[in-house]
Amino acid sequence: MAKDLAQTLAEDLAELGLAELVGPGSLKALDSNTLVELEQEDDLITVYENGESLGDFSFADEKFHEAFMATLATSLNF
Amino acid sequence: MAGLGYNPYRDAAGKFSKPEDVGKKIEGDLQAAYDAGDFSQVEAIENYAMEKMPESPLGQSLLEKNYGSAPQPKVRSGLSAHEQLLRAKVTELAKKNVELRAEAGDVTFDDANPERARRRLDEAIEYAQSRGNTHLISKLTSAKVLPSGAFQRESDKKRVNTDATIRAYTAEKEFEAGRNSIQAAIQAKIDSGEISGEKYTFRDDSGTYTLTIKPGFDEEAYEALDERTRREISVPVNSASLDLAREKLSPELFEQVTTQQQVMDFVVGKEPEIDGIPQANTNLLGKDSEEVAISGLKNLSNYTQAVERNFGSKADRNALKAERAEIIKSAVADRGQNTFVPGRAYANGALLSTRRVLNSKELTDKLSPAQIRSISTMKYQVSEEKARAMLSKEQYAALFEKPKAALRVTPSRKK
């Protein structure tokens, strides 16, 4: 099965040095214990911060990238 | 260091002691070593108590005996006596540095009072030390203090101030602690065998609450292994170092292989009083595994709903946090250095700073293998494969297969 988008995004963020990849779709903030998990279902990506959902982001939405990155930047402090 | 040769978690047969029995075991072992006149063992046990349990009564009395006074109890546990003394020295030097900068008029941006700015930085440094955060100390040492912590966004005149941001930050920490206490209560039931199985779900109008139990790495079991065993189950791993990259690469190349970020750290030396923070219920009741697990998830639901009633949903709180951060970050973006944004209380504020982090894709694209080697350091990492080969089945299971609770909260979408 092809790698899902959530996993690819998590890997990209880790490559940029924005967070540490700690598992499939799981990122840890560089300077705190905040764990962010990305889960994909159909065209929705749900972002969880320490197990609590921050909402669903649809990558069919043209504002997906902006909203998604703003949420991650807030959670991961970058 | 000496002391690592002694391990109170295991007896001569390699059997693990319960963590709650370790304090008594150390005192018993120490007495036995004295009685036997085995002073190398006495030294090993005393070093262990000072390094691994500096906040225990035995650790404290030994530190006082050996160093004149025990290190500040505020310093987090797990540090050796030497590390704690070094950190105290770092704090002292940081304050001296701020004092010299204040005398030279280098701690404020405008014609603000340098003495007040210096006091703010000193108190912020104290706070960072109490958290064991040497990185924050280092950033504060070179920071300049803004005269005010109130900001307005030009486009829509929206106002934000540091105190509101600090209150929200502190409240989130409280919510996290409440949630963690429920998770810890559930984990205790798993450890005692009262909850078993893999997954439990509880749904109500507010959302879905899930408990997943998966095998995971146990830090305590790892700490209990002796130094030699830890080495035997580890493998060397190369990783690129930011400091080495800064030192060995040209400034242009360094910039190309790194990403710059603007980050915000909080200093909360004086905790604000916040009304409406709910109390988490950590009583888990039930006659079988499922009932106990669901009882924990119901507690989590009640807690989450109480937080949402008083402070809004997690998504809304996060959006507000993002907006405030964006306004403050844009206001100080062109200051070009670490900027301390004051709160009303002297000991409170936010520190805006930039950091560069290595971009691994750019590293492999822009650097030769020799260049990558020149900026890499080697560290040891636990290898599951080696551990499986080296350890007994029981030891391996204790290390890698501890059943661990993970909680997940998904609010109802119809809300």
Confidence (pLDDT) at B266: 96
Residue of B nearest to A51 (CA): B408
Distance from CA of A54 to the nearest CA of B (A): 5
Confidence (pLDDT) at B11: 62
Is B409 close to A52, i.e. CB distance below 8 A?
Answer: yes
Distance from CA of A1 to the nearest CA of B (A): 23
User: B184-228, pLDDT tens digit by residue?
Assistant: 999 999 999 999 999 999 999 999 999 999 999 999 999 999 989
- From the list B263, B265, B359, which residue is nearest A78 (CB)? B263
Q: Measured between beta carbons, which residues in chain B are less than 8 angstroms from residue A77?
A: 263-264
For chain B, give every domain's residue range.
153-411
Q: How many residues does chain B have?
A: 415
Greater confidence (B381 vs B65) lies with: B381
Residue of A nearest to B264 (CA): A77
- Answer yes or no: is pLDDT of A53 > 80: yes
Contact pairs from chain A to chain B, CB under 8 Å: 64
- The DSSP output letter for B16 is B
- Answer yes or no: is pLDDT of B1 > 50: no
The Cα B254–Cα B292 span in angstroms is: 54
Confidence (pLDDT) at B193: 96
H or E segment to which residue A52 belongs = strand A52-58
The Cα B58–Cα B56 span in angstroms is: 5
The residues of A whose Cβ lies within 8 A of any Cβ of B are: 14-18, 30-31, 46, 48-56, 70-71, 73-75, 77-78
The Cα B116–Cα B123 span in angstroms is: 11
- Answer yes or no: is pLDDT of B14 > 50: yes
Instruction: Write down the mean pLDDT value for chain B.
Output: 88
- Per-residue pLDDT averaged across B342-361, rounded? 94
Confidence (pLDDT) at B8: 75
Is B314 close to A53, i.e. CB distance below 8 A?
Answer: yes
Note whether B178 and B280 are within 8 A (CB): yes
Greater confidence (B31 vs B70) lies with: B31
| A59-63, B47-51, B69-73, B246-250: the lowest-pLDDT one | B69-73
Note whether B138 and B124 are within 8 A (CB): no
Confidence of residue B406 (pLDDT cuts 50, 70, 90): very high
The candidate with the shortest Cα–Cα distance to B117, out of B128, B129, B109, B107, is B107
- From the list B261, B361, B411, which residue is nearest A15 (CB)? B361
- Per-residue pLDDT averaged across A43-64, rounded? 93
Confidence (pLDDT) at B21: 67
User: B319-336, pLDDT tens digit by residue?
Assistant: 999 999 999 999 888 787
Q: For B210, phi and psi rounded to 5 degrees?
A: -125, 135
- Answer yes or no: is pLDDT of A47 > 90: yes
- Answer yes or no: is pLDDT of B16 > 90: no
Is A53 close to B315, i.e. CB distance below 8 A?
Answer: yes
Question: Two tokens at B325?
Answer: 């951060």
Secondary structure (DSSP) of B217-248? --HHHHHHS-HHHHHHTEEEEEEE-HHHHHHH
Secondary structure (DSSP) of B339-384? EEEE-SSTTEEEEEEEEEEE-HHHHHHHS-HHHHHHTEEEEEEE-H
- Per-residue pLDDT averaged across B102-131, rounded? 91
Is B359 close to A70, i.e. CB distance below 8 A?
Answer: no
The complex scores an ipTM of 0.91
H or E segment to which residue B161 belongs = strand B159-161
Q: Measured between beta carbons, which residues in chain B are less than 8 angstroms from residue A28?
A: none
Is B259 close to A16, i.e. CB distance below 8 A?
Answer: yes
- Answer yes or no: is pLDDT of B294 > 90: yes
Is B179 close to A48, i.e. CB distance below 8 A?
Answer: no
**Bridge partners, residue B215, by sequence:** B403
- From the list A31, A56, A75, which residue is nearest B318 (CB)? A75
Which of A35, A49, A50, A52 is the mutation pick for testing B, counting most B CBs within 10 A? A52
H or E segment to which residue B385 belongs = helix B384-390
- Per-residue pLDDT averaged across B84-101, rounded? 90
Secondary structure (DSSP) of B286-332? -SSHHHHHHHHHHHHHHHHHHHHHHH--HHHHHHHHHHHHHHHHHHH
Confidence of residue B121 (pLDDT cuts 50, 70, 90): very high
Confidence (pLDDT) at B20: 60
Note whether B373 and B248 are within 8 A (CB): no
- Answer yes or no: is pLDDT of B369 > 50: yes
The Cα B53–Cα B46 span in angstroms is: 10
Q: Measured between beta carbons, which residues in chain A are less than 8 angstroms from residue B405?
A: none
Q: Is B262 helix (H, G, I), strand (E, B) or coil?
A: strand
Confidence of residue B304 (pLDDT cuts 50, 70, 90): very high
Which of A53, A63, A69 is the mutation pick for testing B, counting most B CBs within 10 A? A53
Determine what percent of chain B is predicted with pLDDT higher than 70: 90
Residue of B nearest to A30 (CA): B357
Confidence (pLDDT) at B64: 63
| B19-33, B123-137, B159-173, B320-334: the lowest-pLDDT one | B19-33
Is A17 close to B360, i.e. CB distance below 8 A?
Answer: yes
Give burial (CB, 10 Å; 0-12/13-18/19+) of B389.
Answer: exposed
Q: Which domain holds residue A9?
A: 5-76
Is B314 close to A54, i.e. CB distance below 8 A?
Answer: yes
- Answer yes or no: is pLDDT of B3 > 50: no
- Answer yes or no: is pLDDT of B32 > 90: no
Is A74 close to B359, i.e. CB distance below 8 A?
Answer: no
Confidence (pLDDT) at B413: 76
Confidence (pLDDT) at B44: 78
Confidence of residue B4 (pLDDT cuts 50, 70, 90): very low
Instruction: Write down the mean pLDDT value for chain A.
Output: 91
Q: How many domains does chain A have?
A: 1
Determine what percent of chain B is predicted with pLDDT higher than 90: 69
Is B322 close to A56, i.e. CB distance below 8 A?
Answer: no
Is B304 close to A52, i.e. CB distance below 8 A?
Answer: yes
